[in-house]
Amino acid sequence: MKKLLALFLTFALVLSLAACGTGTVETLENPASANSETENPGSAETTDTPEVDEPNMEEYSVEAPGNGPADASDITSVEGVPLITLNNGVQMPQFGLGTQIQSLENGDLGVLNQTSREAVAAALGSGYRHLDDAHGYLQERGVGQGIIDSGVPREEIWITDKLWPSEYGDAYNAIDQMLDRLGVEYLDLVYLHHPAGDIDTIVAAWQDMERAYREGKIRALGISNFDNRMDAFNAIMEQEIKPQIMQIECHPFAQRLETRELAEQYNIQVECWYPLGHGDQRLLNAETLEAIAAAHGKSVVQIIIRWHIQEGFSVIPGSTNPDHIQENIEIFDFELTDEEMEQIRAMDQGESGRYFNLNYDFMGGMFTSPPREWDGEFAE
């Protein structure tokens, strides 16, 4: 029994590391298996959603980020990618690259960081200007080096990072360490990666993020997977600065209607990880999507990503394959019809369509250890 429990905990940790960030899991052994999706297997828990008090929208307001290093930001639309205006007035590219590489996250960190470096450089070369990263992905240094390799000025790139729950007790200093690993002076968005741990510690981490926000080190604040733990969500919504973004698992099989309504109540932007359904072949080979793809001369993956865009989500499919990276951004030269959007909406399987539903009460202990670090040298 001890061996079985250990195996289960290891598997759950792999899932939680992935939670929050991309689309289908693409392994390096077979990069063509499911075009692009590597980040954000999210954790969620299968409990009934408690009722949430209606917010008083007349009192709902979000202060702008403070003056500081982030004043250098110069985000513009590139390759037709729309900009979304968040509830604090900051604009974010709606489409980006998820950088989590699940097949390597427990392997050689040098290989992981080099692979991430190459994927980021390829994406920025293709016109991406939004990168989604996390300390839990173990490759911030690789992402930072990829930015340097690309030659794209840092201020033209939206960089997202996520705090791991083991860092919540000293989140302010953990943010400075993120900046150091990435080699940048500010972050465009920082998430609390998981609603794990006691509420007081989660709130203290959020307040540290508020401090960095007011100092101009961060341009937007977010919560990831908090749809899975409503007491933590409600505690954050009681703080002085409300979230700009809520990152959740969302794809045609799990369209998360109730959670989207909750985000809309608070004017919070929804960002989707697992947009390609974790590479599920039932989704990627669905007849409905294949017919729509044929009508537009596009791939099924492009149809799925385009659906996310037209639903108003921010979407961050991940890939390490340069061809898939290029394919994923080629979705701004066509539109789905109202009928096609409805056909895709009809694919929703509700909460049963989700892939990851971790219970934070049961699995909370696996978040206590900090992510491993890599201090190696990059090959030229």
- Give the pLDDT confidence of 24-73 residue by residue, as tens digits: 434 222 233 345 454 443 333 333 333 444 444 445 668 999 999 999 99
What is the residue whose two structure tokens read 């982030």?
70
Enumerate residues 6+ apart whose C-beta is below 8 A from 305. 95, 275, 276, 315, 317, 328, 331
Q: CA-CA distance, 243 to 326, in Å (whole number)?
A: 31
pLDDT at 246 over 50: yes
Query: Cβ distance 189 to 92 under 8 Å?
Result: yes
| Bridge partners for 249 per DSSP | 273
Query: Cβ distance 21 to 4 under 8 Å?
Result: no
| Bridge partners for 91 per DSSP | 85
Indicate the pLDDT class of residue 117, thresholds 50, 70 and 90.
very high
pLDDT at 76: 98
> pLDDT, tens digit, for every residue of 299-311?
999 999 999 999 9
pLDDT at 208: 98
Between helix 322-329 and helix 109-125 the angle, nearest 10°, is 40
Domain at 34-43+62-352, CATH class:
alpha beta
- What amino acid occupies position 47? T
What's the chain's average pLDDT?
Answer: 87
More confident residue, 29 or 293: 293
Range with lowest mean pLDDT among 32-36, 44-48, 76-80, 289-293: 44-48
pLDDT at 358 over 80: no
State mean pLDDT over 290-294.
98
Distances (CA, A) of 186 to 132, 157, 241, 290, 343: 14, 11, 19, 42, 42
pLDDT at 359: 80
Q: Which two tokens stand for residue 370?
A: 């900090």
Query: Cβ distance 235 to 197 under 8 Å?
Result: no
**What is the helix, strand, coil percentage profile of the chain, to 5?**
45, 10, 45
Indicate the pLDDT class of residue 4, thresholds 50, 70 and 90.
very low
> pLDDT, tens digit, for every residue of 15-36?
555 555 554 434 222 233 345 4
Counting residues of the chain whose pLDDT is more than 90, the rounded percentage is 74
Q: Where in 254-341 does DSSP place strands (E)?
A: 269-273, 314-315
Catalytic residues: 137
Tell me the chain's radius of gyration from C-alpha atoms. Answer: 19
Q: CA-CA distance, 367 to 295, in Å (whole number)?
A: 46
Query: Cβ distance 78 to 288 under 8 Å?
Result: no
pLDDT at 314: 98
Enumerate residues 6+ apart whose C-beta is below 8 A from 367. 16, 164, 165, 166, 194, 196, 197
Enumerate residues 6+ apart whose C-beta is below 8 A from 103. 25, 26, 27, 28, 29, 38
Indicate the pLDDT class of residue 194, thresholds 50, 70 and 90.
very high
Between helix 300-311 and helix 287-296 the angle, nearest 10°, is 90
Counting residues of the chain whose pLDDT is more than 70, the rounded percentage is 82
